[in-house]
Amino acid sequence: MMRLKVIAVGHLKEPFYRLAQEEYRKRLQRYARVTIIEVADEPVPEREKERTLVKEREGERLLQKASNCLCVALDPGGKALTSEELASWLGREMDAGRGEIAFFLGGTLGLSPSVLRRADLSLSLSRLTFPHQLARVILLEQLYRAFRILRGEPYHY
106 annotated ligand-binding residue? yes
Q: 86 with 146: CB under 8 angstroms?
A: yes
Between CA 74 and CA 40 the distance in angstroms is 18
86 annotated ligand-binding residue? no
Between CA 101 and CA 8 the distance in angstroms is 14
128 annotated ligand-binding residue? yes
126 annotated ligand-binding residue? yes
51 annotated ligand-binding residue? no
127 annotated ligand-binding residue? yes
Between CA 30 and CA 117 the distance in angstroms is 32
28 annotated ligand-binding residue? no
Between CA 57 and CA 127 the distance in angstroms is 26
130 annotated ligand-binding residue? yes
Between CA 80 and CA 122 the distance in angstroms is 9
Binding site members for S-adenosyl-L-methionine: 74, 106, 125-130
Summarize the annotated binding site as residue ranges.
74, 106, 125-130
